[in-house]
Each structure stands twice: as structure tokens, then as C-alpha cells.
Structure 1
Amino acid sequence: MTSTDRVVIAPDSFKGTATATEVARALAAGWASVRPADELVLLPMADGGEGTLDAFELAVPGARRMPVLVVGPDDRAVRSHWLLLPDGTGVVELACTSGITLLAELRPLDAHTVGFGEAIADALRHGVDRLYLALGGSASTDGGAGALTALGAVLLDDAGRPLPPGGRGLAEVAAVDLAGLPALPPGGALVLSDVTNPLLGAAGAAAVFGPQKGADAGQVAVLEAGLARWAGLLGSVRGAGGAGVAGSAGLGSAGFASAGAPGVDPATPGAGAAGGAAFGLLAWGARLAAGSAAVGEALGVPAGVAGASVVITGEGRFDAQSAAGKVPSYLAGLAADAGARALLVAGAIDATALAADPGRFAHAVSLTDLAGGSAAAMADPLVWLEVAGARLARGA
């Protein structure tokens, strides 16, 4: 490094312990304590999950929080917000409306995404030109049924009764009417997520993410069966806010499939994101995008990295999944393109994952190692992040 360097600090949040903004500021404080002459550029990042809205708010001058009252994942009212950008884009984050942190206790079968849909509807009523829909931190495994219902879809059982919200009810869904869905905004809707899981199967929403939301083996089976039934119905229906009905009998003869329009494929990579909420949004006509890259492009991160000597990035845990498009791998790629040195900070680092690509990061620091254990690191993450920033500045 030269006597004065341009250092870009672009971490993801350390989920559950520190926001991306807090992480960036702590790392910057540590670096500046060793190299005060360096130019520090803070670009807090997100991958489409929790913290995405905050990242946009910090990075985009003139962004405005739009308050909204929604039904939370356990039916309690939640005072939330979405973000209006100056160019007319609306950013709606699932974690703020239907997230697992909003629950008093886990509800693996009955939590839902109704509030997420209500916030999307509020943004549409405001007249947004485009939507960024940030997934992650979901409390439910309802395949996005709650969100679609809030937007105007009708889900009925065999007796013609509306389904209760949540994954449990999907096993009884017999008909889906999407005629009431609103049109997409002119610029469309982009689903931001770093998850590549399909909707169904061993790598699907229920099997992989259900246990994280409190589901035992029996409940995972119930959720999988419900999602499969849901997929069988929505798989015959075209989205984009058009009219159409799919029923459990004669799916090909009812609604969009008979018109030759492609259905929604549950095997689509990323369809299982947020308990399958991505799958439901695809049925509406939204498009999937790799979260880190889409957020980075929207925030102008590639331009921010250009000309940097050093790029510091990080996340709560760096493991094998980190290489699949998460924030650290995205920033490391930008750093390589810019000829900058990439440095990594994480709460915990899987040595095997780091060794799989030994040239990607010039140095890596684990807060767990610095603090002498995960409990100590999580108790004072900002303190240890500042120590990590200083350690990296010394070249250790």
C-alpha cells in the first residue's frame, strides 16, 4: 500500500448483532486509528435480505421512508415502512413486514407474508415506477400465498372457503384466482435474494429453511406437501397481474395455461427464497435477480470501488454459501476487477471455504478468533470490529 490509500469498506450486516452501517463505521474507526491519512469510503451493502432497505436509504440521497401499518406474521399489527427513492423506485423489505424477528414465538405452520403484500400494495397505490422486493429473514413457509392474497389473489379450499394464511393451509388449496392482482409498475418488480434454492425437494424451502423457522420433521413434511400443491396450481398460471383461475381439476383447461403461456416452474433457482415467497412473486410476474449484484448495481458500488487500493468486506459467517453470490464474493470480484486488495472480516470463518479460493482475499480476520470465542464476539461485535479494522490496517 502507498502512504495514502483509498479504502472502500462495503460489508453486509452481521445478522442479529450489527447492521451493515454499524459494521462499516466500526471497521473504519479501527482502520483510521492506524492509518488516519487514508481516504475511507463507506458503502454498507446487502444481499437482498435483512438490511437492504437501510443500505438503500444510506446510499441514495433523497430516499424517503414511507410509513405503513401491516398485519405481521403472527397477525399482530406492525408499524413498518418501505423506501421511496427519488427516481420513483419503491424498495420493500420482507424482514420489515413479515420477518422472523417480528415474532414473539416461532410459528412454523401459521406465520405468513400478508404484511409484505400489504406494503407492496401501499407502494403501488403511491404510484411507484419500479419495485425492488428484498427477501430474507422470513418467518414463514407460505409460498408467498399471503403476499398474493394481500395484493388481491383469492385462494379457496374444496368447499369454496378462503384459506387461512400460513403454510398449513396450502395443503387444502383447491383453486387460485389471480384476477384481482394489480398490474406490475411500468418498470417491473425485481426480487432481490442471494438464495438459489428451488421451491421443492431436499434443497427446497421447507426442507432447508423450515427448521430454521421452528419446524420439526413432521411439520416440514406438512409444509412440503402444501408447497407442492400450491406449485401444482400456480405452475399452470401466468403472472404479470393478468386475469386467470386455476383449479385442482383440469389445470390445463383453466386460466392461462390453455392460452399457451408458460407457467411458474418450482425448480427455478431462487424460487424457494423466503419460504417460497419468491415463487409467489414470480407468479405475479416479478423477476429474480442475484441479490448482491443487483443491490450493488443499484447503489453504484462498482463505481465506488473503481480506483480503490483496498476493499474491505464481510458478513456474520463466511462459509461455503458465501461463494454463491453473497456480499463478500461480490465485493472480492469487484476488487479484482479494480486491481485492489480484498480484505475479509467475518464473525466466524470456515477455513475450508476460505481455502477453496486462496487468492480471493489478501487477509481475513475472524471476530471469534480475535475475541477468543463466539459468545464474546457476539456480546461486543462493534468493539471487535474496530479491533479487526485496526488489525487489517497493520497488514496482519
Structure 2
Amino acid sequence: MQSADSPSDLPPGGHVLLAPDKFKGSLTAPEVARHLAAGLRRARPDVPVVELPVADGGDGTAESAIAAGWRRVRLEVSGPTGRPVTASLAIDGRSAVVELAQASGLRRLPGGRPRPLSATSFGTGQLLAHAVRLGARKIVLGVGGAACTDGGAGLVQGLGGRLLDATGRDLPPGGAALRSLHALDLRGMPDLSGVRVIVAGEPEGTLLGRNGSATGQAGRRGAGREEIRLLDAGLRRWADLAEAVSRTAIRDRPGSGAAGGVGFAALAFLGATVEPGIGLMLDLLGFPAKARGAHLVVTGQGTLDVRSLRGRAPIGVARAAARAGVPVVAAVGRRGLTGEQLRKARIQAVYALTDIEPDAARCMRQAGPLLEQLTVAIADEWLPPRR
């Protein structure tokens, strides 16, 4: 255990709010919450536990809404390589959560094989179109975990738009094909004038440039140097025509580079705004109300390190809990923050699986049971028995 502050006695009454993100490669956020709850209920059966798995816009964003009581809607859409996949979106009244990773994410690549030149966001456009058909008037679009670098061109096609070459033929999918883009036909797109779209992600990164969608990101999606050059050329052509049609200058706007440029298309054609993912999701899931009166908030993630400080879920949870005056501890697989960094992040203590199992591979395989063991230390230090 690593502590930033010494725990103090907690008042009687109240509950423990469990708000973890996923342990990537091991457990989904709802699974993490279930294991933490099981361990705490054994250790302190008299303390009520509330489960609220969270996400910051990447993998698991739709599932976190569904776990909070939103309705799951399943739909067969086009995956990043064109193969059909079954994806879920979440609906609550006239609000929807659409997760790019469900349709166009790295985990949807057949055999995990990257397709940097041809991967498409088409299926994400199909999910958005279906949310509109279901009556959604507020759509949160989570954009983490993308497999594509197509500038959101596929998203526009999935919504009914057409991208045409000089002969009037539809372009094939992917960012490289955008070099041959000659015209856009948006007549098949739905009327989105009454729909508010919010991109859940950090409002940073631009479509082009040194840190843009191709040059700065495509290497992480399997692109080599020549492929990056082709993708960047395609995105430049896409930006020129898309901005001319939408009559807006978007390419240099923060957030336009999100998810291989899907942020660009959302800003240009959907009138979207970009907001930090975890803050947006916490408000959407009712975190402030659920934290009210809590003894303790337990958050978590597979790895808590300096990258987490850039808007990842545990940091957002800690800041939101601090506003509610509730202490926060984190249960993680591996930690990499100093005590000073924890204090600044408003996290009182960190409990890592590697504290009780030094073998990292075993931590991955047995994350669930190890998390339940870890709750004993959390309960001993933060949930004194009631008298």
C-alpha cells in the first residue's frame, strides 16, 4: 500500500462507493466493481456498498452506462475492416452513449492484425444513425481505442454521406483512399439540427501536424513511415474538401485529432463539442448524487502512473469525490506515482495487486481474486468496525 495521507476515523453510517475503470487485458470495469464489492462485503458486511463502474470515453464507456441502468441496444454494424460485428449502445430516455471502440476499435480487428491504411470508422456512423432513429437528442460519443486513421470519413459514410472520386464512384474505406477524394455528397445524412453531440475525450490534438492523427498517432495503429505519409496526405485532402463543404475551419481545433480524426468529422459535420471524458461520464452516471454521504470512494485502473494524470478515470473520480468531501483510495494492478503526485491528484492511498502478488503475469490472470484479497487492507484501514 502507498499512502498520501494517513486515514482517519470515519463517522458511522454511510456507504462505500466503488467507481473503478477497467483493468485492461484482465477485467472490465463492471467486473472490477463486482470483485471489489464481493471482498468488501465479506470484510465488512455491515457497510453498504454501491457499484458505479466508470470509463473516460474509451473501451467500456457504453458498458459503464449500461451498468448504471441505461438500456442496452445491440446492433450489427460494420467493423473496422468491413466485417460485421455486434455492437452495443446505451440509451436513457432521449440521451445515448455511443462508443467508437464498440464498432471501430482496435479490439475489433480480426486476429488483432492492424489495418492502418484501410481501417474505417463506418460502423461508428451506423451506431450514431441508429441512436438518432431511436430518438436520442443528446449523444455522448466516446472516442478512445480507435483502430482507424480515416479522419472520421467512414463515420460520415456510415451516417449516409458519400465520398466520391473524380469518376463519381464511392471511395473505398480508410485514410489512404482519401487522397483520391474529389467530392462529398451529404444528402443522405440525417437531419442533426436538433441533436447535441459531445465527444468524450481530452480537448487536445489536431488533425494534422507533428502531433496529428497520422504523424502523431498512426504508428500506434500499426502504420510504418511510408504508410503515415500516405495517411497524412489523405487527411489533408479530406480536410480541404470537408472544410469547404462545412464552411468551418476545424483542422487546427483542439480535439480534431481524436481517434484518428473522428473528432474532426464530429466537429465539422455534427456540430459536436469536445469535453473531458471522465468528467462528462461521471455527471452522466450521477456520481455526485451517489457520492453524497459516502464513507469512502474506491476507484481503480490496471496501471496508475503519470499517464493517468492526463485525464484518466481514477484522477477524475478523485477530483469529483474531493468536491463532495469524500476520501478516495485506489485499487490498481500496478502503481507508478509518488506520494506528492497522489496528494495533488486527491488520492489518499493506493493498493496494488503487486503488493500481494509480485508476478505480473499472475496478477493479470488472477486479477479478480487478488482484488478481493486487496479489499481486506482497504477495509482494515478505512472502514473501522462499528461499535
TM-score, structure 2 normalization: 0.88
Within-5 A mapping of 1:117-128: 117-128=125-136
* Alpha-carbon offset, residue 48 of structure 1: 1.4
Note the C-alpha offset of 1:117: 0.9
Pair 1:371-2:357 in alignment = yes
1:80 maps to what in 2? 87
Distance 2:133 2:31 in 1: 33
What displacement does 1:268 show?
2.2
1:357 CA displacement: 4.5
Distance 1:358 1:145, change over 3 A: same
- The amino acid of 1:365's aligned partner reads Y
Superposed counterparts of 1:112-261, under 5 Å: 112-184=120-192, 186-194=194-202, 196-238=204-246, 257=247
CA contact (8 A) 2:250 2:268 kept: no
The answer (yes or no) to whether the contact 2:211–2:217 under 8 Å persists in 1 is: no
Question: Secondary structure at 2:343's aligned position in 1?
Answer: coil
Mark the CA change 1:200 to 1:386 in structure 2 (over 3 Å): closer, same or farther.
Answer: farther
- Secondary structure at the aligned position of 2:381 is classed as coil
**Change in 2 beyond 3 A, CA 1:280/1:6:** same
Matched, 1:53 2:62: yes
Q: Which of 365, 368, 376 is matched with 1:390 structurally? A: 376
Query: Offset at 1:187?
Result: 4.1
Q: C-alpha displacement at 1:185, in angstroms?
A: 6.1
2:331 to 339, 345, 354: 345
**Percent identity between the two aligned chains:** 39
How far, CA to CA, are the matches of 1:74 and 1:10 in structure 2? Answer: 34
Provide the rounded CA distance (Å) in 2 between the counterparts of 1:390 and 1:4.
19
CA contact (8 A) 1:130 1:187 kept: yes
- In the aligned structure 2, how far is the partner of 1:320 from the partner of 1:264? 33
Aligned residues: CA RMSD: 2.1
Gaps of 5+ in 2: 1-8, 383-387
Q: Please state if 1:280 is matched with 2:272.
A: no
Query: C-alpha distance in 2, partners of 1:348/1:211?
Result: 26
Structure 1 residue 165, shift from structure 2 partner:
0.6
Query: Structure 1: how far apart are the matches of 2:284 and 2:181?
Result: 38
Partner of 1:9: 18
1:361 to 341, 347, 357: 347
- For the 8 Å contact 1:47–1:194, the answer to whether it is kept is no
8 Å Cα contact 2:199-2:275 kept in structure 1: yes
Q: CA deviation at 1:75?
A: 1.3
- Give CA-to-partner distance per residue, 1:238-284, whole Å, 9 cap, x none: 3xxxxxxxxxxxxxxxxxx3xxxxx1422222222221111111112
Per-residue CA deviation, residues 317-348 of structure 1 (Å, 9 max, x unaligned), is 22223222221111111221122211112222
Counterparts in 2 of 1:126 and 1:362: CA distance versus 1, 3 Å: closer
**Correspondence for 1:330 among 313, 316, 320:** 316
Q: Are the aligned partners of 1:308 and 1:338 in contact in 2 as well (CA < 8 Å)?
A: no
TM-score, normalised with respect to structure 1: 0.86
Residues 1:271 and 2:256 aligned together: yes
Q: Is the 8 A contact 2:201 2:275 kept in 1?
A: yes
The separation in 2 between residues aligned to 1:332 and 1:286, in whole angstroms, is 27
TM-superposed deviation, 1:5: 4.8
Secondary structure at the residue paired with 1:395?
A: helix
> In structure 1, what is the equivalent of residue 103 of structure 2?
97
Q: Is the 8 A contact 2:342 2:348 kept in 1?
A: no
Q: Secondary structure at the match of 1:307?
A: coil
Q: Which residue of structure 1 aligns with residue 36 of structure 2? A: 27
Q: Distance in 2 between matches of 1:169 and 1:374?
A: 42
Change in CA separation of 1:202 and 1:350 when aligned onto 2, cut-off 3 Å? farther
Structure 1: how far apart are the matches of 2:362 and 2:203?
29
The more displaced of 142-151 and 263-272 is 263-272
AA paired with 2:329?
A: L
Kindly indicate whether residue 93 of structure 2 is the aligned counterpart of residue 108 of structure 1. Answer: no
